[in-house]
Structure 1
């Protein structure tokens, strides 16, 4: 009887043993180490991006504040490199607290400012987040009516019933809510009716290049119709060209946000120096 022939193929290594995956894992560790150190130093700032009402384009309807973490050289750590990893961790809750703290400080300094700040539904039960909100509203009671809390569609669907109670209590204080990235997930219309957001922000995947994309035009109209049905303002995210802006205006979109309207700036736009009058 002949002996079995051994396979000439090398054994398959686990995927995480490949040089590429090892490099990615190492980079991720380095990024998270930078994030932790930035939070320890409180080396953070907000970048402000305008949201423009089509009905009144001469001034922003409000600004969205994006948190920016800085490394030891004062360079911004790209949010895309760590936000997905911290969503379910305490680091994510700390970032939400710092975002809220800085947003409330900005509202206290500029009494005619309206601002949206991002948060995760997971921060609702985090004691530090509610303490930060109460402290900020005690310092500036009028901030409540100028504060918009943005919660992503994906985050809302993790705990919709808890979000509904949370929103109802804070809306009594004058705080508004925006459903971020609408259309990207699986929001049930039953929950949408129950939650009663003030703003719906249509996900950028349906907005970029919309002037030349009939399918996206159809989706945007459908999402806009949902917003109108529930008496919510619709904001188109990721507006990047004049043609897209014109297309969205023609279909009746309420507000626009994106690089065409205005890029995020770490210098508060409302603090821009006004030109001096000539003598």
Structure 2
């Protein structure tokens, strides 16, 4: 033993008791002879490891997992610091035998170089850090896995998908990606609580996991959706797998603390790389397929395939979206006026304002072309805001005219739209009394209390409320009274054929009679011939609108002395 080694080992017993109580042991390693010298209580740190396995670096290395050469590698790869020694720190596992548990070791110390500049001697401390290792592993697991189901989280699922796509491209194989969505999970939340819904999610994950092949990858994509990578999967394999997953989710109820819950799931899938070559395409197309499955029937399966009509419509949507935004910025949104006349006198009662958009080439897009796309792409609020400004400005400039304004369902509950209308009403006193706001029947039945609050605020400005396309939905007349509706506009689909259809005649006449008894005014839309107009007048319909009366025009159809004839609401 060298003089330096003797000095160190003589000092070891002085601190060995303290180190042992901390689960630590000190060592000196003579690398030239490979001899390991430990503090006296090393047996307390490694109780199941024989002394022979601790006597040399080579013998100790046989116990190390996963890399046996980790200690020598750490020394040889550290930059030399000089005479004070070069510090190092490593972690590794030690297993006394194949059946023994793995002990995680943290080793820290320093080494000194010999005359050749290579490590000649190392000294330091080892300590057991199983608890910290377990905690680190748990944190790593939480970073990679969903805490509820234990499956991969979204980020790592997408990373696995990217790796699989690269693999299929390199080896010219195929795989499938599925999105599995639990149907009506919100209903379970509402009926039983979120804890029961969580139990359902966890059980569905277990059932899917039980039907996976080796190599398939499952992850939780979002709240009620799982993503599944089926490696080396043909289209036939995908269909068989989907039916297997649907059946195991559907066929047995899920036991929960609140009782058994019946669950179904829908699946959307895409074949990779045939129909998708990157993660964005894969996920988007799997989503499309899942949405298609849910629209068709809950608990069904759909595979994404190219669709020429869908792609063409998307190109149109992109073009029209750009045109709408540009037209809004360039003030090319305009309104046209369609007359609504009294059924008996044929005098104008008010004018319905319909949106128009002037295109760069001079063509004009009509309301159906604009509104459908704007609603689908979330632009309708901007369009409704602009139309509101134009309508209020026209009412302010034409004090003897009444105008009606259609607003979309989304705008009904838009606080910004309400703020705008309040500001405009206050800026132009009296204008609200000549404004009729038309809301669809669908909106009226969505949330009766919210809609009633919206209606009340408008009525405080003296405005009238009309229900558009009445008869197409399921609004009861009781709800109309509850809302304080002034006018119902009978859906033109029932009006246009009353001269030929006895069923339509009975339906429209009944609506008019009920509305009259409740003192609600009626407007018949799509009146196209004189015979229909006479019938409506005789049945007591208050106003008519349609091709017989006149189509919408961008020119103001009223004169300076025009008088509106709409009576006050009953």
TM-score, normalization by structure 1 = 0.86
Q: Does 1:53 align with 2:366?
A: no
1:35, 1:71 within 8 Å by CA — same for their partners in 2?
no
Where 1:95 maps in the other structure, the secondary structure is helix
Count of residue pairs the alignment pairs up: 262
1:237, 1:256 within 8 Å by CA — same for their partners in 2?
yes
Looking at structure 1, the residues matched to 383 and 377 of structure 2 have their Cα atoms a distance apart, in angstroms, of 10
1:254 aligned to which of 520, 542, 548: 542
Q: Does 1:136 align with 2:424?
A: yes
2:513, 2:540 within 8 Å by CA — same for their partners in 1?
no
Looking at structure 1, the residues matched to 387 and 443 of structure 2 have their Cα atoms a distance apart, in angstroms, of 17
Report how far residue 15 of structure 1 moved.
6.3
Write the deviation string for residues 220-277 of structure 1: whole angstroms up to 9, x where unpaired: 01111221132110000011111211221122211000111111000111159xxxxx
2:529, 2:548 within 8 Å by CA — same for their partners in 1?
yes
1:101 aligned to which of 369, 383, 389: 389
Match of 1:25 in 2: 314
Match of 1:217 in 2: 505
Report how far residue 185 of structure 1 moved.
0.9
Write the deviation string for residues 91-140 of structure 1: whole angstroms up to 9, x where unpaired: 11111111111111111011000110111343244233123212322232
Q: Does 1:268 align with 2:564?
A: no
Match of 1:240 in 2: 528
Task: Name stretches of at least 5 consecutive residues in structure 2 with no aligned partner.
Answer: 1-235, 237-270, 276-302, 561-570
1:204 aligned to which of 482, 492, 496: 492
1:152 aligned to which of 440, 445, 453: 440
Match of 2:170 in 1: none
Farther-moved stretch of structure 1 (35-44 vs 105-114):
35-44
1:153, 1:181 within 8 Å by CA — same for their partners in 2?
yes
Report how far residue 90 of structure 1 moved.
4.2
1:15, 1:21 within 8 Å by CA — same for their partners in 2?
no
Matches within 5 A, 1:7-22: 17-22=306-311
1:49, 1:64 within 8 Å by CA — same for their partners in 2?
yes
Looking at structure 1, the residues matched to 558 and 380 of structure 2 have their Cα atoms a distance apart, in angstroms, of 29
Where 2:334 maps in the other structure, the secondary structure is strand
Looking at structure 1, the residues matched to 398 and 371 of structure 2 have their Cα atoms a distance apart, in angstroms, of 28
C-alpha distance 125-19 of structure 1, shift in aligned 2 (>3 A): closer
Report how far residue 144 of structure 1 moved.
1.0
Match of 2:329 in 1: 40
Where 1:68 maps in the other structure, the secondary structure is strand
1:62 aligned to which of 350, 353, 367: 350
Farther-moved stretch of structure 1 (86-95 vs 36-45):
86-95
Looking at structure 1, the residues matched to 473 and 450 of structure 2 have their Cα atoms a distance apart, in angstroms, of 18
1:49, 1:263 within 8 Å by CA — same for their partners in 2?
yes
Where 1:151 maps in the other structure, the secondary structure is strand
When Rg is computed on C-alpha atoms for both structures, the one with the higher figure is 2
1:119, 1:150 within 8 Å by CA — same for their partners in 2?
yes
Task: Name stretches of at least 5 consecutive residues in structure 1 with no aligned partner.
Answer: 1-6, 273-279
Q: Does 1:116 align with 2:404?
A: yes
Looking at structure 2, the residues matched to 100 and 225 of structure 1 have their Cα atoms a distance apart, in angstroms, of 33
2:405, 2:436 within 8 Å by CA — same for their partners in 1?
yes
Where 1:117 maps in the other structure, the secondary structure is strand
Report how far residue 54 of structure 1 moved.
1.6
Looking at structure 1, the residues matched to 312 and 325 of structure 2 have their Cα atoms a distance apart, in angstroms, of 20
Higher relative contact order (CA 8 A, sep 6+): 1
C-alpha distance 16-111 of structure 1, shift in aligned 2 (>3 A): farther
TM-score, normalization by structure 2 = 0.44
Match of 1:180 in 2: 468
Match of 1:277 in 2: none
1:50, 1:262 within 8 Å by CA — same for their partners in 2?
yes
Match of 2:246 in 1: none
Where 1:17 maps in the other structure, the secondary structure is coil
Where 1:157 maps in the other structure, the secondary structure is helix
1:88, 1:122 within 8 Å by CA — same for their partners in 2?
no
Looking at structure 2, the residues matched to 225 and 87 of structure 1 have their Cα atoms a distance apart, in angstroms, of 34
User: Stretches of 4+ moved more than 6 A in 1?
Assistant: none
Looking at structure 2, the residues matched to 75 and 16 of structure 1 have their Cα atoms a distance apart, in angstroms, of 35
Report how far residue 40 of structure 1 moved.
2.3
RMSD: 2.3
2:371 aligned to which of 79, 83, 104: 83
